[in-house]
Amino acid sequence: MPYRNPVIPGYYPDPSVCRVGQDYYLATSSFEYFPGVPLFHSRDLVDWALIGYCLTRPEQVPLAGCRSSGGIFAPTLRYHNGRFYMVTTNVTGGGHFFVHAEDPAGPWSDPIWVDTGMRGIDPDLFWDDDGTCYFTSTSTLGIATCPLDVATGKPLAEPRQQWTGTGGQHPEAPHLYKIRGRYYLQLAEGGTERGHMVTIARGDTPFGPWESCPHNPILSHRSTNRPIQSTGHADMIEAHDGSWWMVFLGTRPHGLYPTFHNLGRETNLAPVRWTEDGWPVVGDGGQVDVVNDLPAFATATPTRWDQVVEDAFDGPSLPLYWNYLRNPDLTRYSLSERPGYLRLKGIAVNLGALDSPTWVGRRQQHHEMTATTRLHFEPQVDGEEAGLSALMNETHRIEIAVTREAGARVAIVRRTIGSISLVVARHVLPATGPVELCIQAVTPRVEGARPGWGAEPIYALSVAVAGQAPVRLATSEMRYLGTEVAGGFTGVYLGMYATGNGQACVTPADFEWFRYEPAGVSS
């Protein structure tokens, strides 16, 4: 039976994996979003369930004023002597730190800060057979390693420069392993874009000297037309049956030329085999297909991420896949004040601020999908606004919203591209009653078009009131919410929000339900 990459679709980059018996755990970056560092569980390396987050308290992950794609960078997840460790970097403030937990679902400890005296990212923890813990990261020396006291986070010696890679730009994402008695140092090179690649070297000590793999890079899709691009930032693991696997990030560009991607960097899986002389071979000679054979111990083809998901907001808390921007004031969000609804209380801050607006979002995980919500909102003051957004960052986003203008309730579509932010459509609404807002990601079909020469992928935004057909208000080219235009390391979120646009809202916004439907799937 096959599985399909990505195994975790949508913006889940920089994966790191560890194993406890026959259970597998995986963590990814989170940047400016809260809670921080999503944590997944699997029994087969293919079907991953989100079970929690490593950073759930503001004191663990201070994000005030965090720029987009700042905050929490790449983690490494490890298990040692009955305890899980997650080490990462808050580039907005504090630098390297790690947290630990006996139960991966939490709670996780307060941060233990690691100061090597050198700035860097992408920290790694490795325990040798004698119990020594080694800390490796990028640094002012390049890739550097030092022994670490995990009780205090204090380096036990000065960091020493390690292998610098094969000459690709930005050597990063170091992981140190001991495999069959030898030490391996794995890196990512080429930058986390189209030139991304994974390289590896080996030596007889944790500090080398390092012998570069003769068939480096061991993974790269650079200069190919494969549907998954930018492959890199990987972590390897031996499965409980003795097979070897690699998790890595990759992107899925849209076929339109020039290509772009808007789902972010996603988590993929590849088989690894070892040569007789002790070097890893990833996938098919360093390249990985979308469709691959399942691990021998997998029991079914996963479909977890390809289902219609509808949130009725009738539970005590939101499902785990909902995130906030930076550190939220949770008093502005309620599932109990109006049972069966998510109530949002807007403040002066809107989605254009480097702040924590009243917004809650989930990742877009499919190129084509439909997101719809039913909103009860009858604004009493001009400028009060609540609606549905597709957001890459504060300067690249679209919103379809209900607001009040000159005393009338209207639906609007706003498009923000860089420094230009305009309302591009208006539609008068009845003074009262619920409104359904919809954002659809779609690539219009052009009969006979060559791949890459079809129509522009778009977001289509529509509104519906009771008893009437939906009205499409506007479309927006998807590429303007793509990384190649917007920049950064994240992907598009679909979220509900409320704002007073300069003043606190008098009227709360009540969302009755939210529905996410991948194209081609029906409930």
Q: b vs e for 183-196, b when ≥16 Cβ sit within 10 Å of the residue's Cβ?
A: bbbbbbbbebbbbb
The answer to whether residues 394 and 353 touch, using CB atoms and an 8 Å cutoff, is yes
Alpha carbon distance 29, 41 (integer Å): 16
Tokens 């935004």 appear where?
461
Q: Amino acid identity of 451?
A: P
Other C-beta atoms within 10 Å of 353: how many?
A: 13
Q: Residue 149 pairs with which residues in a beta bridge?
A: 154
Other C-beta atoms within 10 Å of 491: how many?
A: 26
The answer to whether residues 4 and 258 touch, using CB atoms and an 8 Å cutoff, is no
Alpha carbon distance 393, 235 (integer Å): 28
Catalytic residues: 14, 172
Residue 312 DSSP code: -
| Tokens (6 digits) for 392 | 């890459």
CA 32 from chain centre, in angstroms, equals 10
Nearest 5°: the CA angle 290, 443, 512 is: 95
| Tokens (6 digits) for 12 | 């889940």
CA 134 from chain centre, in angstroms, equals 27
Segment (H or E) for 254: none
Cis amide leading into 209 (omega within 30): yes
Residues sharing a CB contact under 8 Å with residue 97, sequence separation 6 or more, in sequence order: 87, 88, 89, 90, 111, 112, 113, 114, 153
Q: From start to end of 62-181, where are the E strands?
A: 76-80, 83-90, 95-101, 112-113, 124-127, 133-139, 142-149, 154-155, 160-161, 172-179
Pairing of strands 142-149, 154-155: antiparallel
Alpha carbon distance 483, 489 (integer Å): 7
| Tokens (6 digits) for 463 | 């509104």
Give me the phi and psi of 396, to 5 degrees please. -140, 100
Alpha carbon distance 384, 129 (integer Å): 61
Q: Residue 180 pairs with which residues in a beta bridge?
A: none
DSSP codes, 94-122:
TEEEEEEESSTTSPPPPPEE---SS----
The answer to whether residues 15 and 9 touch, using CB atoms and an 8 Å cutoff, is no
Tokens 């392993």 appear where?
177
Helix, strand or coil, per DSSP, at residue 354: coil
